[in-house]
Structures are given as C-alpha cells and as structure tokens.
Amino acid sequence: MAKKAQRVHLYKSYKFGGDQKDPVIHRIHSMLDESGVDYTKAAEMSDVSRSTIVAWIEGDTMRPKYCTIAAVASALGYEQVFVKSNGKRKVA
C-alpha cells in the first residue's frame, strides 16, 4: 500500500494582537545576544541587510519575511525544526 503524503498547511496571516510584533523577532534578538553578534556582523554572515535586521528589532517591522529570518538564524548556527503535535488544533 502506498504511503499517503503529509500536507503542510501554510497560513497567510497570523494574529498576535493588533500592534504586537511577530514573536520570532524576539527569538532572533535573543539569538543575536546569545551569539554575541551585532547587527553588522549578522548582516555580513547572512546576506540580509543591516537595515532589515534593525527594522525588526528596533523599527516598525511587525511581520518579517520567513526567508530573511531563516537566513539570519541559519547564519547564527540555528536550524528550523518542525515537531508534530498531538494533532489537536486549538480554535479561537
């Protein structure tokens, strides 16, 4: 019997509460602190502009692009891991 393909559902928008920034920005800021890497060095390492990184942490950017977040995290030595939950989704 053929194995059924798993589907990954991607959603265009997330609600963090009106004017709240995406929590991934806080994670990136923590990664930078823990790594001892400043914005300029992170930009050089990841090929993401310094102004983009500053806009996440100190500026008005609320929802950064996944590809730029992934580039910075990867350059700092982190990797994305997807873990399957118990299958129950919370509905608001």
Label residue 65 by pLDDT band (50, 70, 90). Answer: very high
| CATH number of 54's domain | 1.10.260
Q: Is residue 69 part of a domain?
A: yes
Q: What is the mean pLDDT of residues 14-37?
A: 86
Secondary structure of the chain as H, E, C letters: CCCCCCCCCCCCCCCCCCCCCCHHHHHHHHHHHHHCCCHHHHHHHHCCCHHHHHHHHCCCCCCCCHHHHHHHHHHCCCCCCCCCCCCCCCCC
- How many domains, the chain? 1
Instruction: Please state the rounded mean pLDDT for residues 12-34.
Output: 82
CA–CA distance, 40 with 51 (Å, rounded to integer)? 9
Q: Does 9 map to a domain?
A: no
Q: What is the mean pLDDT of residues 41-69?
A: 96
- Residue 85 falls within a domain, yes or no? no
Does 36 reside within a domain?
A: yes
| Percent above pLDDT 70 for the chain | 74
Residues 48 and 72: beta-carbon distance below 8 Å = yes
Task: Supply the range of the domain harboring residue 33.
Answer: 23-75
